[in-house]
Chains A and B, each alone.
Chain A
């Protein structure tokens, strides 16, 4: 057989952003060897007619550091077409470690990333010290490709012990940390991450250790990467401020490494901040440096009724009404003076998260036949249809249906035009799935399938080719993942086969698949037919095959170090 696998007749979206085309894809020894009209036989053949064939998606912002130790697939990554992940973001990694600091790392993961302590205690065996040894633990045991950043928090605890959460470092300690970062990079880390978010605390209420670092310390650690021309620098500074960009510029100029910053999103409460951020980052790129803003594809949507919603809790009268018995509440909603007061609060209270606009919330579901004509309309549109003020239309419709009417609202990500500009920006890196974290509160494994379903198919904010580029070769290039992210001969056969007409993510649901049967949220996909890692199928028509073809992806200093040795 000329090939181990041939994928026949699919539309190849190769990750470059170039127009897609129909072709067969031949795979041999874990790599793509030919793309075109292939006549030779193969051990396995997949009919992909009518489907898209693309490089596997690269989820570069995960916290799967622990989960990969007990779950070789980082479930539910493959279900959403992800073939490679990067761990160690936001300053958090499980290495380097030495006896006595394990719990400091656990305390940080438990609080910052909301991973249940019992799962970490049972699932993490700590049979490593260096970052390279941690990666060694994953060799041969994973179903997807994994790489990672070394986290500033672990580095600081290793050098300073518990004093890492109390004070700045001495010059000697900074030198120790530089040695640890270099060792991690030579062991295979893809870069380094830090965390300065003033809301990020440990389980005991103390700040995570990286928050105690001053610029001298952090820049000195980043010099390790800059001086060796390797790795990315991932940062989280907390509340987004335009003033941060001077710092990103300084860091990018000093190290000439790609800087990743969090985050850039559209929020109705700060509707222009995303544009100000893009304008602020442009000079950094124009000066010849890289500072990519991370963004998400999942709108923060709430479906609500006036029976029990919380979204108006910032407004005192609205809040009080929502705690009244339903019959009393209905009488209040019908009262003209009360309505005037409710509208007054929306118009006049400052600094709220709620967007205060009637052209955003929509009627999602009506129960009476005569109200079906309002479904899908914004409150403002419905009010125009009814020749009413928006607040009257909103409350009258809800009262007409005994407060059962379901409304839709998005405080984040709900402006399609803004989201289009953000997602298309060359300065933006798509994906903050946080996979492996916040497991009791959500699951955003589907950031890629949502990009393809919501933003490409439904909202048409970018082409399929652009979107696939953003999910594959774009992160592969920034993170330096050699030989991945394109569907071209010589590249790793990490391949996703999906149906562009149906691809999407389902709503998260509960599972009990963490250590000690700890519950967490998982997320299934629609329309992802096959996920292939290094030429071997791991996910086929909704079922996992059990194969473990994943590789540990190590950075360039590892290769140089090995070669020198």
Chain B
């Protein structure tokens, strides 16, 4: 068991509202910077697999809307907020460690 911090960006690299594509262990992830907070989440919408790099729209309050079907997800918990009860978005914890933005993976 352990914990791993995987650097995915430099602090200040992303403008507010920007998203960056990241490959993590062969899986595609998006790193977003919204209202001063970083969020990491799967690039694939859990509803009908749309690419959130293309279809995703960041909203105020740490949410993302998939414009394919207007499904909305909380970027911190992954919970599907619209419609309620939809499949959750896979999210990962993000931490700033010095000058680096890291994804924290614990097992």
**Interface, chain A (partner B; CB < 8 A):** 111, 114, 198-199, 201-205, 239, 307-308, 310, 313-314, 317, 319-326, 328-329, 332, 335, 337-338, 341, 353, 438, 440-441
Contacts and interface: CB of A to CB of B under 8 A. Distances in A.
10 contacts: A114-B48, A201-B69, A201-B82, A310-B42, A313-B42, A323-B29, A323-B92, A324-B6, A325-B25, A353-B87
Nearest to A205: B70
Chain B: interface size category: 20 to 34
B27 A320 contact: no
A329 B49 contact: no
Nearest to B93: A320
B91 to A, nearest CB: 9
A320 B105 contact: yes
B90 A201 contact: no
Interface string B84-95: 111110101000
A106 to B, nearest CB: 14
A322 B27 contact: yes
A239 B85 contact: yes
Contact of A332 (B2, B49, B82): B2
A201 B70 contact: yes
A323 B107 CA distance: 11
A199 B83 contact: yes
A325 to B, nearest CB: 5
Contacts of A326: 25-26
B106 interface: yes
Contacts of A324: 4, 6, 24-25, 105, 107
Contacts, number: 78
B77 interface: no
Contacts of B1: 332, 335, 337-338, 341
A332 B24 CA distance: 16
B95 to A, nearest CB: 14
A198 B83 contact: yes
B48 A438 contact: yes
Interface of B: 1-2, 4, 6, 24-27, 29, 42, 44, 48-50, 68-70, 82-88, 90, 92, 103, 105-107
Contacts of A438: 48
Contacts of A308: 25-27
Given A308-B26, A313-B90, A201 B83 contact: yes
Given A111-B69, A321-B107, A323-B25, 4 more contacts: A199-B85, A324-B6, A324-B25, A441-B49
A322 B69 contact: no
Contacts of A323: 6, 24-25, 27, 29, 92, 103, 105
Nearest to A314: B88
A153 to B, nearest CB: 16
Contacts of B6: 323-325
A199 to B, nearest CB: 4
B19 to A, nearest CB: 17
Given A310-B42, A332-B2, A203 B107 contact: no
A199 B86 contact: yes
A306 B30 CA distance: 21
A279 B43 CA distance: 41
A313 B89 CA distance: 9
A202 B83 CA distance: 12
Given A201-B69, A201-B70, A310 B90 contact: yes
A329 B24 CA distance: 11
Contact of A319 (B4, B70, B86, B90): B90
